[in-house]
Amino acid sequence: MVFPWLSASILFPIGAALLIPFVPDKGDGRQVRWFALGVALTTFLLTVGGYLNGYDPAVEGLQLVERVEWLPSLGLAWSVGADGLSMPLILLTSFITALAALAAWPVSFKPRLFYFLLLAMDGGQIAVFAVQDMLLFFLAWELELIPVYLLLAIWGGKKRQYAATKFILYTAGSSLFILIVGLAMAFYGGNTSFEYAALMAKDFPLKFQILCYAGLLIAFGVKLPIVPLHTWLPDAHGEATAPVHMLLAGILLKMGGYALLRFNVQLLPEGHAQFAPLLVVLGVVNIIYAALTSFAQRNLKRKIAYSSISHMGFVLIGIGSFSALGTSGAMLQMISHGLIGASLFFLVGATYDRTHTLQLDEMGGVGQKMRKMFALWTICSLASLALPGMSGFVSELMVFVGFATSEAYTLSFRVVMAILAAVGVILTPIYLLSMLREIFFGKENRELASHTHLVDAEPREIYVISCLLVPIIGIGLYPRLMTDTYRASIEALVQRETSAMTRVVSVPSGSLIRQANLQAPAVPG
């Protein structure tokens, strides 16, 4: 029998979390946090083990499959597996969670509950990416909300109740659509099954696909988030503590992007063919709108939160690009933002611990006391503004090139969208560098320096950031490190959506957005 890597990495952290009440602890949380860190690291090693032993990047289909009948009467089976869409995100999840456990070192309020929720979330999030059954997906998606809600509501900032309630209402409300669509798809055409493979084999009519697509777009659009469904995010991110923040930005947002690829594109390719231009437009709106709001924000956390929204715009454009390069770019952007977003939010938390304020007006000249912190902030901000040599640049470039050369759209549509998206290239450094300018540059703010203790970055913090920077720079220097792990799956996916588009989309002449003559792009060499 083969070792069940995926089931183990889902169930181990949850099982271990249940043991937390029995961990001997004197009440200061020290033993608990070592225990939690050990569990998170073991989970990371489990996922890496699965990747090394059971996963072949060259195969496009599902691997590491484990299937046990659970409730046959409902058609429910414990079915997990990984392909190119999920494997990188599973690794990202366990990686970021392990770092978040390390980032949570200073948490002293109710440590047992905190680490319990952290570990439960770890398993739940891996489950979201690994399960191959829509009902299970819905369960994992919902289960995963509860720890986040509690983490927000108990450990958050001043407005934590408002933020947590808003978060739960938004996501729970929107996930109703997942359930409805899942049921509809499962019961369609007799043969009741929730499994992705079975759903993929079904031949849904176009109108049905469009309805399902719209429902799922709302559900996942809240998570990603897509403007105007984003307003929970600045509140939730604005109130969360640093480790929760890392998980929110690093993993939770990726659930939206992953689900869009998995359900909207893979299961409903014809619906996707109809909706894709909308995705591109929404992506461009995300980029510009959120960059502007981020620029105007005076609260540091909310500023970074809006910048996350802006970066997610590239994911949308990539998904809607109908090109292997663009879709790969979207996938890479998710991973890259997972790493960069987590590092920035970790730094926000570390800075807040020292300044006790998040208002940019109350900071200034902090760089003189905290030089290492300044250096880390600079590196991570440069990564976020897509400096070459770091992962963000590669992913955005891939989206740009993929979309610009996509044969699915007319030249004028591509030109307008590319120009608007490129405006983000100007706006992003404006808000990020202004932020650095206001925190670190200039004369020291005497008032701040007088009543706070501005110590420089400690080794633990430098270690966390270095762990995140290694993959960021590694991918930036040689992107195939990451893209080769999912290349086959993405190419198969794009093949599927492209053939669906040729089936359903008839292009009237003189169309503004789409163009008819689909042909293989001519690339010499």
Partner 1 sequence: MPSAAELAWLIPVLPLAGACLVGLGLISFNRTINRLRKPVAWLLISCVGAAAVLSYAILAQQLAGAGPTEVLFNWASAGTFNLQMGFRVDALAAVMLSLVTTIAVLVMVYSDGYMAHDKGYVRFFTYLALFSSSMLGLVISPNLLEIYVFWELVGMCSYLLVGFWYDRDGAANAAQKAFVTNRVGDFGLLLGILGLFWATGSFGFEEIGAGLQDAVAGGSLSSGVAVILCLLVFMGPMAKSAQFPLHVWLPDAMEGPTPISALIHAATMVAAGVFLVARLQPVYEPFAAVQITIAVIGTITLFLGATIALTQQDLKKGLAYSTVSQLGYMMLAMGCGAPVAGMFHLVTHAFFKAMLFLGSGSVIHAMEEVVGHEPVLAQDMRLMGGLRRYMPITSATFFIGCVAIAGIPPLAGFWSKDEILGQAFNSLPLLWAMGFITAGMTAFYMFRLYFLTFEGEFRANDTAVQAALLAAAGKGNDHDEDHDHGHHAEHPHESGWQMAMPLAVLAVPSVLIGLLGTPWNSRFAFLLDPHEGAEMAEHFSWGEFLPLAGASVAISVAGITVAVLAYALRKLDMAALFANRFPAVNAFLANKWYLDAINDKLFVQGSRKLARSVLEVDSKVVDGVVNLTGLMTLGSGEGLKYFETGRAQFYALIVFGGVIALVVLFGSLG
Does 494 help bind partner 1 (rule: CB under 8 A)?
Answer: yes
Q: How far is the CB of 486 from partner 1 (least distance, A)?
A: 10
Does 110 help bind partner 1 (rule: CB under 8 A)?
Answer: no
Per-residue interface string for the shown chain with partner 1, residues 433-472, x marking contact by CB under 8 A: xx--x--xxxxx-----------x-----x----------
Does 296 help bind partner 1 (rule: CB under 8 A)?
Answer: yes
Does 401 help bind partner 1 (rule: CB under 8 A)?
Answer: yes
Query: What is the rounded CA–CA span in Å between residue 148 and residue 128?
Result: 14
Query: What is the rounded CA–CA span in Å between residue 474 and residue 328?
Result: 17
Count helices and strands in the chain by DSSP H and E runs: 20, 2
Does 31 help bind partner 1 (rule: CB under 8 A)?
Answer: no
The kind and range of the H/E element at 473 are helix 459-477
Choose which of 1, 52, 58, 522 interacts with partner 1 (CB under 8 A): 522
Q: How far is the CB of 178 from partner 1 (least distance, A)?
A: 20
210: tokens are 């469009």
Which residues, 116 to 175, sit near partner 1 by CB under 8 A? 166, 169-170
429: tokens are 């450094």
Per-residue interface string for the shown chain with partner 1, residues 230-259, x marking contact by CB under 8 A: xxx---------------------------
Return the number of the residue (112 or 302) whose C-beta is nearest partner 1. Answer: 302
Does 308 help bind partner 1 (rule: CB under 8 A)?
Answer: no
348: tokens are 């926000």
Distance of CA 100 to CAs 33, 106, 278, 391, 395, Å? 11, 11, 35, 21, 24
Return the number of the residue (362 or 491) whose C-beta is nearest partner 1. Answer: 491
Does 60 help bind partner 1 (rule: CB under 8 A)?
Answer: no
Does 324 help bind partner 1 (rule: CB under 8 A)?
Answer: yes
User: In the 3-class helix/strand/coil scheme, how is 83-140 assigned residue by residue?
Assistant: CCCCHHHHHHHHHHHHHHHHHCCCCCCCHHHHHHHHHHHHHHHHHHHHECEHHHHHHH
Q: How far is the CB of 2 from partner 1 (least distance, A)?
A: 31
Query: What is the rounded CA–CA span in Å between residue 266 and residue 200?
Result: 7
Q: Which residues contact 323 (CB under 8 A, 6 or more apart)?
A: 402, 403, 405, 406, 407, 408, 494
Stretch that binds partner 1, among 93-101, 208-216, 484-492, 499-507 (CB under 8 A): 484-492
Choose which of 163, 216, 317, 398 interacts with partner 1 (CB under 8 A): 398
Does 420 help bind partner 1 (rule: CB under 8 A)?
Answer: no
